[in-house]
Amino acid sequence: MTEREPEPESFWGRLRSRDLAASATTSGIMGLALGVAGVALPLLAIRAGYSAAEIGALTAVSAVSQLVSRLSLGGLMKRVPEWTLISSAGFFLALSCGLVALSPAVLPFVVAQLLQGVARAFHWTSTTAHLVRAPGRAAPRLAVVNFTAAIGSLIGPVIAGVLSEQTPVLALAVAAGISLVAIGPTFLLDRLPPFAPPEDRPKGRVWRRPGVDVGCCAAVTAGGWQALLTSYVPVAMVAAGQNAATVGALVSVANGAMLIGAGVAGRVRSRWQPPVVLGAILVGGTAVALTAALADSVPLSALVLAAGGYCAGTLQVLGSAVVAESVHPEERGEAIAASGTFRALSMFGTPLAVAGLISLVPLAPAVAAVGVALGLPAVVLRRHARPRPPGARPD
């Protein structure tokens, strides 16, 4: 049966609006801080004399930390309210930036990367879990928060670049301050208790449930796209003869399309979300497969990157929405943590898969093979391609 939204002037309507505004503000500020830190940290490492291999190892430390943190969040959110984890994420990121700003030595750098991975996992997973707890459709709320976070993520690198012209330490100090500011809006979030799954819940791992498996596959494709967009896609374009300005512009096309996709996804009705997700997985995987092969053509690269970015933005929003609406409300924290873990695994494993393949074949077929693998779940899970019957889920 269709669920009615509360009237805007009602107490609960005002309360939910305040909660959404606080979530969006916090995520926008955190996106800004992470955008600054993501550029300033490697720049500081270069100035401190670290080699490319050492910088890669430090980045891997953050990825592993994020993965381990996401693995723990399903159980943690049954013991601790998720709003406290959102608040702590800002503190962890501020501590991360502050440590390495004080000293670029190996130990502070490693600890900083560990803390950054924890901050990323705590903020994004806990914020998503918090948003899907409210009654009604989750997709519009997720779209708003993803949109504001993406804006912050786009502005952050620009600020980092400007400040790092003087010194990356200044950029990291600013990132630490921004992270602390992000804690403020969390005090306006709804104070909900920890998740309490029912005792008679279905047996087996939550990620294997119908619907949750679709959302987890969406997370894999979106995570793989994001990982390759910041690693092997620029490498393929440079190898094809594109200059740095062109590469930057093309990556911006992908990021802009991702922003639009996340914004539009909130308008998709619940019954159509599973088939739209599967379509986005298929198109997103195809786009990954074609990025390196078409890297020598600017118009075709722009088209493919725009399509892939749009699908990735769609998957970020609708993947989580499908997961949330496929389980009991008190299981949503665990389910969201599971899909987040799949995303982290993909972001860590996809570049490694390409790295392994290019030892056997050239870059273009290696990326194509990984793209096919990222799109394959759309075929395996095609039983979800039909829209849900009207009234099957809140809409």
Per-residue pLDDT of 281-320, as tens digits, reads 999 999 999 998 999 999 999 999 999 999 999 999 998 8
The per-residue pLDDT for range 113-129, each reduced to its tens digit, is 899 999 999 999 999 99
Say how far apart CA 356 and CA 362 lie, in whole Å: 11
User: Does residue 234 contact residue 251 with C-beta atoms inside 8 Å?
Assistant: yes
Say how far apart CA 33 and CA 296 lie, in whole Å: 34
Closest to 324 in 3D by CA, of 141, 99, 68 = 141
Closest to 128 in 3D by CA, of 332, 343, 393, 342 = 332
The confidence score (pLDDT) of residue 349 equals 86
CA distances from 12 to 3, 7, 9, 202 (A): 15, 8, 8, 32
Phi-psi region of 50 (alpha: psi -120 to 50; beta: other; left: phi over 0): beta
pLDDT of 145 higher than 60: yes
User: Does residue 304 contact residue 294 with C-beta atoms inside 8 Å?
Assistant: yes
The structural architecture, per CATH, of the domain 11-188 is Up-down Bundle (1.20)
The per-residue pLDDT for range 347-367, each reduced to its tens digit, is 888 888 888 888 889 888 999
Q: Which residue has the tokens 């019954």?
A: 271
Per DSSP, the three-state class of 187 is helix
pLDDT of 327 higher than 60: yes
Q: Which residue has the tokens 């093979």?
A: 369
Say how far apart CA 302 and CA 339 lie, in whole Å: 29
The confidence score (pLDDT) of residue 9 equals 41
The confidence score (pLDDT) of residue 387 equals 53
- Band the pLDDT of 112: cuts 50, 70, 90: very high
Alpha helices by DSSP H, listed for the chain, are: 11-47, 52-76, 82-102, 106-131, 139-164, 168-183, 212-229, 232-239, 244-265, 273-291, 298-324, 332-357, 363-375, 377-380
The confidence score (pLDDT) of residue 300 equals 94
Position with higher pLDDT, 190 vs 58: 190
Position with higher pLDDT, 207 vs 371: 371
**Which of 65-79, 95-109, 222-236 is least confident?**
222-236
- CATH 1.20.1250.20 residue spans of the chain: 11-188, 206-384
Give me the amino acid identity at 95: L
- Band the pLDDT of 204: cuts 50, 70, 90: low
Closest to 66 in 3D by CA, of 41, 47, 93, 43 = 93
Say how far apart CA 192 and CA 371 lie, in whole Å: 40
Give me 123's structure tokens: 């903020």
- Band the pLDDT of 383: cuts 50, 70, 90: low
Give me 282's structure tokens: 């298929």
First CA to last CA distance, the chain: 8
Residue 208 CB coordination number (10 Å):
11
The per-residue pLDDT for range 28-57, each reduced to its tens digit, is 999 999 988 888 888 888 888 887 667 777
The per-residue pLDDT for range 252-290, each reduced to its tens digit, is 888 889 889 988 888 888 778 888 999 999 999 999 999
Residue 34 CB coordination number (10 Å):
27
206-384: CATH topology: Growth Hormone; Chain: A; (1.20.1250)
The confidence score (pLDDT) of residue 93 equals 95
Question: Highest mean pLDDT range out of 57-66, 68-77, 268-277?
Answer: 68-77
User: Does residue 118 contact residue 65 with C-beta atoms inside 8 Å?
Assistant: yes
Closest to 129 in 3D by CA, of 93, 170, 89 = 89
The confidence score (pLDDT) of residue 10 equals 47
The confidence score (pLDDT) of residue 76 equals 92
Say how far apart CA 340 and CA 322 lie, in whole Å: 13
The confidence score (pLDDT) of residue 87 equals 94
Give me 200's structure tokens: 């008679």
pLDDT above 90 coverage of the chain, percent: 34
Question: Highest mean pLDDT range out of 86-95, 245-254, 334-343, 381-390?
Answer: 86-95
